[in-house]
Structures are given as C-alpha cells and as structure tokens.
Amino acid sequence: MYAFFALVPPVAYWVIVVLWTIILVVLVRKLRAAPRRHQAVVLLVVVLALDAFRTLLESVYFGTYWSAIYGVFPDSWRIALQNPVLVAIPKLVTVVVGLLVLFLLLRRWFPADEQAREAAQRSLSDSQAQAARAETKYRRIVETSLDVICTFDAQGCFVDVSPRSRAIWGYAPEELIGKCFTDFTHPDDREGALAEAAAIHAGTSTDSFENRYLHKDGHIVYLMWSSVWSEADQLFYAVARDVSRRRGLEIKRRELEERLHQSQRLESVGQLTGGVAHDFNNLLTVILGNAKLLEEKLANDPELRRVVETTHVAAQRGADLTQRLLAFSRRQALEPRSIDVNHLIGGADVLLRRLLGGNIAVRLVLDEAAWPIHADPLQLESALINLGVNARDAMAGGGTLTIRTSNRAVPEGEDIAAGDYVAIDVTDDGSGMSPDIALRVFEPFFTTKDIGKGSGLGLSMVYGFVRQSGGHVQLASTVGQGTTVTLLFPRGAAGLPEAALPETATVAPSGSETVLIAEDNELVRTYTGELLRKLGYRVVEAESGAEAVALLTQNPDIDVLFSDMMMPGGMTGADLARQARQMRPGLKILLTSGYVDNDAASGATVGGIRILRKPYRGEELAQALREVVAQPAGRT
C-alpha cells in the first residue's frame, strides 16, 4: 500500500512529460509552416511553454510527493526520502529532458529545414537567372544569325522561325508559323524533301541537304539544311543556309564550261570540215571547169549536152555545200563592207515573206539609231534567210517571226569581248527546243528534220559567218514558247561607202601575158594551165612556193603570178606574194583559195591582193586576170 502511493507521483510526472512533448511537437510543426516573419514569435512561445512545463511538473510532482511522505510513510521512510539526492533527481531530469527536447526539435527540425529552404530558394533563383541569361543569349543568336533557325512539328509545320526568314524567303516568321515547309518547296523538290524528312525522323541527321524553295516574289532560292529530330520534344530542329549565290555561280560555271566545250567541239569540227572543203573545192574547180568546156563542145549534141548540164548542176550544188562548210569553219573568203542593217533587213523582208508563206507574219522592229556594221552583206542576208527558214519549220501551225535591231554595249566580265555591238534578234513563237538540242544546233549536219528535208548546215553557216566577222551568236529557247537567235556584230565605222558587187563575166576575155601558176593540186594546175593557154596566155607552172620563187628568178618575163593560198612546204600564197613583190615590185598578183586562213586573210583580199574564190569558172578567172593586169603599176 505504501509502495503504490510512493509510485503515483513519478508516474504522473512522466505522463505529463509525454503529453507535453506531444504538445511541443505540434507547436514546432506549426512553426515550420509559419511565415518567416512569425518564426521568432513562435520560437518564444515554445521556450515559455517549456519553462511552464518544467514548473508544472515540479509543482505536481513535489506537491504530491511530500504529501505522500508526510501522510503515509513512517518516520524512518520520510527521513530516507528527504535525502537531497532523491529531491534533486526529478528537477535535474526535468531540466535535462526539457533542454533535450528543445534542442532536438529546434535543431533537427526547424533550423535544418529552414537552411534547406533557403538553399533551395537560392538555387531556384540562380537557376532562373541562368535560364533567363541563356534565353537572352539564344534569342540574340537567333535574331542575328545569317541562317534561318527554325523548328518543325512531326507533320513538318513551322513551330518557331527566326527573323532571317524575311530576308531569305520574303516571309515574316508569323507568316510561316503553322504552315508546312512543303508549301514553299519547289514542286520538283517536294518528293525529295519529304523523303529526307522521313529519314531524319527515323534517326538520321543531315548537315548538307539542299533543295529549292520559292521566294515570296516567285524566284527560286537554294537552301542547304542541317536538321535533327528530338524524340523527347517531338520536334525537328533545323538550320537553313541560303546558298543561292554559290549555286548561281556553279550553274554559271557549268554553262561556261558547256559553252567552252561546245566551242572547242565546233572548232575541231570546223578544222576538219575546212580541210575537207578545201580538197572538195579543188576537185569541184576541175569538174565545173571541164563541165563548162564540154558543154561548149557538145552544143550540137543535145543528149550529151543534157548529161553535161546535169553534171554541172550537181557540181554546183556540191560547191554550195562546200561553201557552207567553209562558212561554218570560218574559212570562207568574205567581202565585208559597211552595212546599214536596217536597210539590208528591209531589202530582205520581201524575200523572207515569200519564203515563209502566208500563215507566218513577219514583224520588223528596227532601231533607227542602229550603228553600222562591217560585214559581208550577201552572207548576212543568207544568214537571215536561213534563220527564217528554221523559224518557219518550228511554226508548223503558223505564227510570227520578229526581227529586231538594237545597239548593245557589252561590259567587262561577260562571256564575250566587251565593246559596242549591233544586235539582230530573230524571234519565233514556235515549238522551241530542249536544252540538249539547243547545245547542238550549230553543229554541221545536225538536224531535227526528217531525212531529205534539210542538210543541217543552215545554222552552222550562220554561226561560222558571224564568228568570222568578229561577232557572236546567242540562242535562247524554251520548249513550247519559241526561240530567239541573236546575232551580235561589232560596231563599224560610220560613213564607209558600200562597194559595188563585182559583175560576173559571161564571156571569158583573152590575154597574151605570161602567167606563173603556183598550185600544189595537179588536177587544178593542169586544168587552169589548159584554160589560160586557150585564152592566149603563156603559162609557167609550179607546184610549190619555193619552185615559184625559183621560176620568178629564172624568168624575168613573167607578168602575172596566180597562186593558191594553201600550199605545202611552209610557204603560203600570201608568203609567196610578199616575197614576189620584194623581188619584182611591178609584178601583178592574183590569189585563189577555197579555204582562207584567218591569220592570213580577213576578207576578199590579203595585203591588198585580190582573192578569187574556189571553185571558179573559166570566165571568172579570165575576168579576174584582166582586172589585175589593168591595175596601175604599184597599186595594191
């Protein structure tokens, strides 16, 4: 019974400790959730509560304790329980427990949690500042980049676009967002762009995909893309660089290479055809001359005369064909003079209308201020006729042929020499040509016509004549929209009189002079010698320039030198003529050629000496000799 009453105060004491501890925990939890400005107040409340708790415990414990001692226990027990050690133990326990609870609660919960919160707040603030700086840096890069930086969704629609799109595409970013990139892709490149996008979506990144886009004003823009797909963001990240200038330079370089290749090919073919034409002209000179002689001898035999006439006509057609080959190879002997292009085109207008037929209209747009040019008028007229005939074939259903003249100043940096040119544009609205055909139209014997409907030499003759005249030929053609051929002739000096065309003699005049024939072709040399002897001339023959020089030294009575331009042995007809003039200043000289070396001759004369074109007829040779003999001594 005494023991029970002795244990009640300690038990009650510790029950109160536990309850008060719970109350402290609740208060500390409230303290953690309290705003920062109320934390000091709550902490003060906790300290006061702990002190009150300690006082309460002591009052309850000791009050009950002493009452039990004095009312229940015997005197011997009371003396033992009043020991100072037993009295101090509850007070010490109360102080230690209170301090321990306060230390654990405030140190473990409140201060540590507050430090973490403050650290987290500082970390959050730092992260936000870094994110803001990174966003600012990204925006500056995007806004100042010369490339278009953009993002697309999985369907290829713009999500974000940098402002550079306005300079490259012509579209502001807000005009692109929400639209798919295929809306601006060139129609011919859309399939390839979609295939590339599918490959990137599958995990293949690209850094050099190039395709064409349509600018807002309609012109083509070349863009090179670098792009990756982000599975986490479900977005394409892409950078587009404008390579239009580089692409344009590459296209221009390829065009120049193609033109150079074409020019080299034409030059090679020209050298071949020129050499062949030279030999043909030698043969045709003999055939035409002998056909003419036979025609005269067979005047009383109609049947054989018709055979000879047929031979003569065929040989003449061969001569015309050879002349066109020489025109292409730029080896024909031209007779250039000052030409008013408007006047010449006006004169050819009637012939063109007759050739083209009634379903094709001819329209002349002539610049009254067009400069004069220096060219062969007959060859220029023939070139216009050839262009007109080709235009007619391209306009099978009818159309309009427009001939336009204008002055054109070509600056430095073009693919032709800089300077002043007179342009003659011949335009049709026919079927046009593909690029592959346009590259070959000036080649000899190339034709798109059916077999037997064209020789393929018309445009090649035009090309060779213009180039030999120091000009250029340009061609622009689009399938279904027509073709324009531009002839560019260098500006000529104004006021030069037009020389009258020589008249062809119908009767071969005779002579009695001594003529030295320098000709390497035996057939031509024999034919020419027999022809001149029949006309009364005395003839001396040489098969090379060196032999001709020796004969001039041995025969001072030689009056006329008649020499071919092209001879073996390193001495041309021009070289022979110069040396002969030094040896015999008063010697009369006539040159002949079916193949003119551009370095030696640039027209109908070389060094002022007349050139007789091959193949020539007997009366043409006789007339030329009489004109040369009739020239005053010393005149060139």
The CATH number assigned to the domain holding 196 equals 3.30.450.20
What CATH number is given to the structural domain containing 376?
A: 3.30.565.10
Domains in the chain, number: 5
Under the banding of pLDDT at 50, 70 and 90, the label for residue 372 is very high
Based on the fold, state whether residues 341 and 445 are members of the same structural domain.
yes
pLDDT at position 501: 42
For 405-447, the DSSP string reads EEEEEEPTTSSS--EEEEEEEEEE-S----HHHHTTTTSTT--
What is the rounded average pLDDT of the residues 176-186? 86
Q: Are residues 69 and 185 in the same domain?
A: no
pTM greater than 0.75 (yes/no)? no
Q: What's residue 636's pLDDT?
A: 47
262 domain-assigned: yes
Instruction: Indicate whether 111 and 150 sit together in one domain.
Output: no
Contact yes or no for 289/466 (Cβ under 8 A): no
Last residue of a domain, one of 138, 170, 203: 138
Could you say which of 282, 307, 328 is where a domain stops? 328
Residue 498 lies in a domain: no
Rounded to the nearest 10 degrees, the angle between the axes of helix 2-33 and helix 84-103 is 20
Per residue in 93-128, pLDDT (tens digit) is 666 666 666 566 555 555 555 566 677 777 777 778
pLDDT in tens, 139-156: 777 776 778 888 889 888
Residue 527 CB neighbours (<10 A): 21
Question: Bigger pLDDT: 335 or 187?
Answer: 187
Q: How confident is the model at residue 426 (pLDDT cuts 50, 70, 90)?
A: very high
Q: Could you tell me if 107 and 170 lie in one domain? A: no
User: pLDDT category, 221, cuts 50, 70, 90?
Assistant: confident
Helices 377-394/341-356 angle, 10° precision: 40
421 and 536 together in one domain: no
Pairing of strands 373-375, 337-339: antiparallel
Mean pLDDT, to the nearest integer, of 225-249?
84
Give the CATH number of the domain where residue 291 resides: 1.10.287
Quick one: average pLDDT of 360-370? 91
Which domain, by its residues, includes 100? 2-138
Q: Are residues 252 and 350 in the same domain?
A: no
* CATH code of the domain in which 545 resides: 3.40.50.2300
30 found inside a domain: yes
Last residue of a domain, one of 138, 170, 190: 138
Does the pLDDT value for residue 265 go beyond 80?
no
Tell me, yes or no, whether 314 and 351 share the same domain.
no
Q: How far is CA 301 from the centre of its chain?
A: 69
537: pLDDT confidence band, cut at 50, 70 and 90? very high
Mean pLDDT of all residues belonging to the chain: 76
Mark whether 440 and 567 lie in a shared domain. no
In a domain, 596, yes or no: yes
Same domain, residue pair 121 and 11: yes
The pLDDT value given to residue 322? 67
Most confident of 138-152, 377-391, 437-451, 552-566: 552-566
* Residues near 229 by beta carbon (within 8 Å), at least 6 away in sequence: 200, 201, 203, 205, 235, 236, 237
Q: How confident is the model at residue 72 (pLDDT cuts 50, 70, 90)?
A: low
Nearest to 245, CA basis, from 225, 217, 223, 215: 223
Long-range own/partner contacts, residues 167-170 (CB < 8 A, 24 or more apart): 168/221, 168/223, 168/240, 168/242, 169/213, 169/215, 169/216, 169/221, 170/215, 170/216, 170/217
Which pLDDT tens digit goes with each residue over 434-476?
Answer: 887 887 777 766 666 554 445 556 677 788 778 878 888 888 8
474 and 547 share one domain: no
Give 410's strand partners. 419
**What band does 634 get if pLDDT is binned at 50, 70 and 90?**
low
Closest CA to 261 of 108, 442, 126, 119: 442
**pLDDT for 13 beyond 50:** yes
Report percent pLDDT > 90 for the chain: 9
With a cut of 90, say whether residue 561 has pLDDT above it: yes
pLDDT at site 82: 55
Average the pLDDT over each of 132-146, 205-219, 574-588 and give the range with the smallest value: 132-146
Is 166 part of any domain? yes
Mean pLDDT of the region 281-309: 76
Q: How far apart are CA 341 and CA 377, in angstroms?
A: 9
Examine residue 41 and state whether it is found in any structural domain, yes or no. Answer: yes
Q: What is the mean pLDDT of residues 589-594?
A: 84
> What pLDDT band is residue 562 in, cutting at 50, 70 and 90?
very high
228 Rama sector, left if φ>0, alpha if ψ -120 to 50, beta otherwise: beta
pLDDT in tens, 601-617: 444 556 678 888 777 77
In this structure, of 86-100, 227-241, 437-451, 526-540, the range with the lowest mean pLDDT score is: 86-100
504 in any annotated domain: no
506 lies in some domain = no
Q: What is the pLDDT of residues 481-523, one digit of tens each?
A: 899 999 999 988 654 444 444 444 445 677 788 999 998 888 8
Q: Does one domain contain both 423 and 381?
A: yes
Verify that 305 and 234 share a domain, yes or no.
Answer: no
- As a whole number of angstroms, the distance between CA 319 and CA 321 comes to 5
